[in-house]
Amino acid sequence: MQDLLLSLRALCSEPTLDECLKQAGIVKEFISHPASRLTHDQLVRLYQESAAATGDEMMGLWSRPIRTGSLKYIVRAVMDAPTIRVALYRFTQVWNLLLDDYRLNLAQAGDSMSLELIPRSTKIGVNRFGHALILKLTHGIVSWLVGREVPVQRVVFVFQRPSFAADYPILFPAPIDFGGQFSHITFRAEHGRIRAERNTADVREFLKRAPRDWIFTSYHEHVMRLKVRELLYADLGRTLDDVSSKLHMSSRTLIRRLQDENLSFQGIKDDLRRDLAILNLARKDVSLAEISYALGFSSPAVFHRAFRHWTGMTPGVYRAAQQELQSPPAGG
């Protein structure tokens, strides 16, 4: 999130950024905290508002603005491709006309095909959000063309593992590595032979909903964190033993599987609590006490301390700021 904010600040004035955040329902003070997270709806709305306000469909993430309408022509270029491999080749060619700092390369080795993000110079800086977004757009376009979520073999980023690395599986349902030679996303080569099945009406709907249909994934086969999170979302009272049983494994095996992803059961539970707290605090029909008990805290005071630790703000201050965003302007 911090990388995106830096790009937006370089692209537009502070008042314009403030208005984009307001329209997206985002409390500015909240996102300045290192542990801040956005809901899916907030991120989608921020993309839509900032792209419209700045005329850059990639929100300042690259050295050259990606002008309004670029995504439309990218989608039209790939929609009638005879195969996914041809669609990906066309995808790289359009992007290579748009980007100055990087070029996209489609490579195949054995039973895998990869889309690689190659810097055009050794002096090019790395925007982590930009790299993640363009690889996710690749996955989203491929899945949209096929008509279902396409599995990803592996995702590699050129930058070192960040403190928020545990968030990446939400975007990419695959093993994720950091510190690679260059950023790339890999699919099974057999998917390149599939024929795309989309028409003009599909294109209009895809663009209307952008970026919702290509940022978020629901294919969870390879991601243990998301399986655990889904089970806890259904019942936050579930224990480690409960979740292990649902996943048909021992508690020790689950702990080991999570450790392989540098995660813990309690950490996943706390992240879910934080996200649910943020969602519920935007509502006016539920009290702080009700939220705290619903999230499994022993008292509102414990919830208060936890939320402040997560976000740097108290629940009351966050709720007041959210309600101020939702209120109509004076005299309006």
Contact between residue 10 and residue 60 where contact means Cβ atoms under 8 Å apart = yes
118 beta partners: 103
Residue 15: count of CB within 10 angstroms of its CB: 8
User: Quick check: pTM over 0.85?
Assistant: no
The amino acid at residue 71 is L
Nearest to 24 by CA among 4, 34, 11: 4
For each of the chain's 332 residues, which pLDDT tens digit applies? 677 787 888 888 889 998 998 888 888 777 766 666 777 778 888 999 999 999 999 988 898 899 999 999 999 999 999 999 999 999 999 999 999 999 999 999 999 999 999 999 988 889 999 999 999 999 999 999 988 888 899 999 999 998 888 778 778 878 899 999 999 999 999 999 998 878 889 999 888 888 887 876 554 444 677 789 889 988 999 999 999 999 999 999 999 988 877 789 998 899 889 888 988 888 888 999 999 999 999 999 999 999 998 888 899 998 888 877 766 555 54
What pLDDT, on the 0 to 100 scale, is given for residue 219?
47
In sequence order, which ranges of 188-249 are alpha helices (DSSP H)? 200-209, 212-215, 224-234, 240-246
Residue 115: count of CB within 10 angstroms of its CB: 24
Nearest to 94 by CA among 112, 79, 110, 82: 79
- How close are the terminal C-alpha atoms of the chain, in Å? 32
The amino acid at residue 215 is I
Nearest to 173 by CA among 144, 142, 216, 202: 216
Query: How many angstroms separate the CA atoms of 318 and 27, rounded?
Result: 8
Nearest to 140 by CA among 87, 69, 103, 73: 87
118: left (phi over 0), alpha (psi -120 to 50) or beta: beta
The set of residues, in sequence order, having a beta carbon less than 8 Å from that of 26 and lying 6+ positions away, is 38, 42, 46, 325
Largest CA distance in the chain: 65
Nearest to 222 by CA among 188, 183, 267, 273: 188
What pLDDT, on the 0 to 100 scale, is given for residue 44?
87
Query: How many angstroms separate the CA atoms of 183 and 178, rounded?
Result: 9
Contact between residue 46 and residue 31 where contact means Cβ atoms under 8 Å apart = no
Kindly calculate the radius of gyration of the chain based on its CA atoms and give it in whole angstroms: 21
DSSP letter for each residue of 233-262 = HH-TT--HHHHHHHTTS-HHHHHHHHHHTT
Query: How many angstroms separate the CA atoms of 94 and 109, rounded?
Result: 23
Q: How many CA atoms lie within 13 A of 238 on its CB side?
A: 23
